[in-house]
């Protein structure tokens, strides 16, 4: 009797890499670095020639560099030291973009060095799925190659939403990416969309002396903010000459040789030298061929993940704008680190902090963390308010940056810090002091900290002591 043949033992498939990360923005960078430092063979795929993603090249870095230059220009023109016997200095958009371009190049060069130092393989081209372990990369010259890995992470970011009924190829119609390539010097601009991006660019262009019409689809600007802060921004923009049109939606856009006309559903017609359309963003998933792995993106191009940043396909993970909220560069970097932990250990050992600070780089800045007055009122929390006006601070008087204030919301019985809201120069820096105290547990999170701590003098941080004392005076 012959012995029955036994089949050879199955071997696990061999892959070129342990993990592939698609995208080199903050989320992709955080993920790739964490995996590489854990000793994994990692590859990253970047569709453009330079690393850094939208954050470095079209979003956070360039817009904030633009904002900084315009803010300093305003400061120069309004400082009494320079106001005697001088004519206001003006600059063009292309002039301040030269400064921004230098910052972009420096950031991209720095970020590229991270991949070199950590021996991460970098591929340039458009990635798409062949199967759940294999990617096809189409290079800019049309050539192709495939690479494979046990795990793959999506960090592809997002792009401006561009409705098909608007001709974005017209030289006077822009989105928040293409506006950075504007060559002419407009005297007027219509900004459609008054979210964070639209409000920031309204500040930038108005600071350059451009006539700005800001079209908002909602009842008030940035409605997620504390109402007082939102009102302060509206007043400041209005006081500087920005025309804000609330509760409006467009019906059509006409691009002409010498202007752009925006027709609104209400029957109004608006004309300006150019139009910036800044109404939402879409996740970059349409080129990935997700159907090949049975993964589906929603109408906004976003994919669903669990608490470990794992998609419905067990070896595919996703972080950053492509998974939605909070869609912040700083949060995306941490999401990348947490997702790397999950890819290494099967679970993410940490998550984003509950109170994520909001930084809005209008002129002046806005930043907040925690609950708003409206939220606390709805929750029936017995809170009190402490305020500090920047115009009363010595540091603000010295720097001639007296517009703005700090507001602390705290529980009137326990003195627990519930929310910090700041409007004014350096707001996005100042808010972190309050955030640090809010993260403490028990009695360490108390208004008394700001009362009893000695702050450097003169500083903007002193606003916390002033606001805390103001709040204590309201308790009876």
Residues tagged in the binding site annotation for FAD: 46-55, 64, 156-158, 321
> What does the chain come to in residues?
476
Q: What angle do CA 189, 158, 198 make, to 5 degrees?
A: 25
Binding site listing for NAD(+): 193-200, 280
Binding site listing: 46-55, 64, 156-158, 193-200, 280, 321
How far, in Å, are 132, 310, 317 from residue 313 at the CA level?
8, 7, 8
Q: How would you classify residue 37: left for phi > 0, otherwise alpha for psi between -120 and 50, otherwise beta? A: alpha
Torsion of CA 67, 72, 74, 75, to 10 degrees: 140
């Amino acid at each position: 009797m012959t012995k029955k043949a036994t089949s050879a033992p199955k071997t696990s498939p061999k892959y070129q890499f342990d993990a592939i990360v698609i995208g080199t923005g903050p989320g992709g960078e955080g993920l790739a670095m964490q995996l590489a430092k854990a000793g994994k063979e990692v590859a990253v795929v970047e569709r453009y020639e330079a690393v850094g993603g939208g954050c470095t090249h079209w979003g956070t870095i360039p817009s904030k560099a633009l904002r900084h230059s315009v803010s300093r220009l305003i400061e120069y023109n309004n400082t009494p030291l320079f106001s005697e016997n001088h004519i206001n200095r003006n600059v063009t958009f292309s002039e301040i973009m030269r400064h921004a371009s230098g910052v972009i190049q420096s950031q991209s060069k720095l970020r590229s060095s991270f991949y070199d130092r950590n021996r991460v393989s970098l591929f340039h081209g458009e990635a798409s799925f062949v199967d759940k372990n294999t990617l096809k990369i189409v290079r800019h010259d049309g050539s192709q190659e495939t690479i494979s890995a046990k795990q793959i992470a999506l960090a592809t970011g997002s792009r401006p939403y561009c409705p098909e009924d608007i001709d974005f190829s017209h030289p006077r119609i822009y989105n928040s990416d293409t506006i950075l390539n504007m060559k002419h010097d407009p005297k007027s601009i219509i900004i459609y969309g008054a979210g964070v991006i639209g409000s920031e660019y309204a500040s930038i262009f108005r600071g350059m002396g451009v006539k700005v019409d800001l079209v908002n689809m909602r009842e008030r600007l940035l409605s997620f903010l504390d109402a007082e802060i939102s009102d302060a921004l509206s007043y400041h923009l209005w006081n500087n000459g920005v025309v804000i049109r609330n509760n409006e939606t467009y019906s059509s856009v006409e691009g002409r040789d010498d202007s752009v006309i925006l027709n609104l559903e209400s029957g109004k017609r608006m004309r300006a030298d150019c139009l910036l359309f800044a109404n939402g963003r879409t996740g970059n998933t349409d080129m990935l061929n997700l159907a090949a792995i049975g993964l589906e993106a929603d109408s906004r191009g976003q994919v669903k993940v669990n608490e470990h940043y794992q998609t419905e396909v067990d070896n595919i993970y996703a972080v950053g704008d492509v998974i939605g909220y909070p869609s912040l560069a700083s949060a995306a970097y941490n999401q990348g680190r947490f997702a790397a932990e999950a890819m290494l250990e099967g679970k993410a050992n940490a998550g984003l902090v509950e109170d994520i600070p909001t930084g809005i780089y209008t002129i002046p800045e806005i930043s907040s963390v925690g609950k708003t007055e409206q939220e606390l009122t709805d929750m029936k929390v017995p809170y009190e308010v402490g305020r500090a006006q920047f115009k009363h601070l010595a540091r603000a008087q010295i720097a001639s940056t007296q517009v703005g204030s700090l507001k602390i919301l705290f529980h009137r019985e326990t003195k627990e810090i519930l929310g910090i809201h700041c409007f004014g120069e350096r707001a996005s820096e100042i808010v972190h002091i309050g955030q640090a105290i809010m993260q403490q547990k028990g009695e360490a999170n108390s208004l008394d900290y700001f009362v009893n701590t000695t702050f450097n003098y003169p500083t903007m941080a002193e606003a916390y002591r002033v606001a805390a004392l103001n709040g204590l005076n309201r308790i009876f």
